[in-house]
């Protein structure tokens, strides 16, 4: 199937199910109010759906299934611990209208993650193809095929892998995947389970379902966390005094 035939399979957005694949106590109040105030794309139905289940894979799966049952043409994942620009749905929709079956944005990693190419705490990360070599059918996600994207390469970049923090996806693309769509990694000999369920899913949308994925680096998403506050914060965040005064004036 050539790219033109693949593109014809995909739909224009009509009904967007925004899946927030977490619930209490993992749903942040700031995120809840942020989601309430998102602008809805003109002429498109939007429904917010929570995920349910014992682990992230189950929460993603049940959110998607609820969306499909509602009749969604597109699923949009937005994290329950994030703050989004109020026009994020409109901006993602614009990319879908331009022919991209998947539109995404970068989310800063919470804390420090030890992986190739991720050098700084709270770094944003998405991956592109390293060269011409591609994985064989059914081959699991492997970093040997991928390079971390460089923000200096442009505000809009085609990618091969990213997490599901922000992702609008054509439902037909999801349904083209063999189930289970979402699956937790197997634990190693120490019982450690790598947190790559969502990146594996997004990677499969490209490698198995034939989708193309655009990352919009102009969308500014903030990842929420809790920090222990000490007396150094008055100095480290000294610019807040001017910033807060400027907002009030």
Q: How much is the CA Rg of the chain, to the nearest whole Å?
A: 19
* Section 161-174 average pLDDT: 95
Give the separation between CA 232 and CA 206, rounded to whole angstroms: 45
Residue 1: what pLDDT?
46
* Section 30-55 average pLDDT: 94
pLDDT tens by residue, 73-95 = 999 999 999 999 999 999 999 99
Count Cα neighbours of 211 within 13 Å in the Cβ-side half-sphere. 32
Q: What percent of the residues of the chain are helix, what percent strand, and what percent coil, each to the nearest 5?
A: 30, 20, 50
* Section 141-152 average pLDDT: 85
The share of the chain scoring above pLDDT 70, in percent, equals 89
Answer yes or no: is pLDDT of 4 > 60: no
Residue 243: what pLDDT?
60
* Section 112-118 average pLDDT: 67
Domain 3-248 has CATH 3.90.550.40: yes
H-helix or E-strand spanning residue 221:
none
Mean pLDDT, all residues of the chain: 87
Residue 67: what pLDDT?
96
Of 31-45, 213-227, 228-242, the one with minimum mean pLDDT is: 228-242
Q: Where in the chain are the domains?
A: 3-248
Give the separation between CA 69 and CA 75, rounded to whole angstroms: 12
């Amino acid at each position: 199937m050539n790219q033109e035939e693949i593109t014809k399979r995909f739909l224009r957005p009509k009904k967007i199910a925004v899946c927030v694949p977490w619930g209490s106590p993992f749903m942040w109040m700031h995120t809840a109010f942020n989601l309430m105030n998102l602008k809805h794309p003109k002429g498109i139905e939007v429904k917010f759906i929570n995920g349910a289940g014992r682990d992230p894979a189950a929460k993603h799966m049940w959110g998607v299934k609820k969306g499909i049952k509602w009749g969604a043409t597109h699923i949009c994942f937005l994290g329950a611990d994030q703050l989004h620009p109020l026009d994020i749905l409109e901006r993602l929709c614009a990319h879908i209208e331009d022919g991209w079956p998947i539109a995404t944005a970068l989310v800063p990693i919470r804390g420090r993650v030890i992986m190739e190419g991720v050098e700084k705490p709270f770094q944003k990360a998405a991956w592109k193809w390293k060269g011409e070599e591609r994985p064989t059918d059914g081959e699991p996600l492997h970093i040997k095929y991928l390079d971390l994207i460089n923000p200096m390469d442009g505000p809009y970049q085609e990618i091969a892998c990213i997490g599901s923090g922000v992702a609008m996806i054509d439902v037909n693309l999801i349904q083209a995947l063999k189930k289970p769509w979402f699956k937790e990694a197997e634990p190693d000999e120490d019982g450690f389970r790598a947190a790559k369920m969502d990146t594996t899913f997004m990677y499969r949308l490209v490698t198995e379902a034939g989708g193309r994925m655009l990352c919009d680096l102009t969308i500014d998403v903030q990842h929420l966390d809790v920090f222990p506050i000490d007396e150094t914060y008055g100095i480290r965040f000294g610019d807040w005094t001017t910033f807060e005064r400027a907002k009030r004036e």
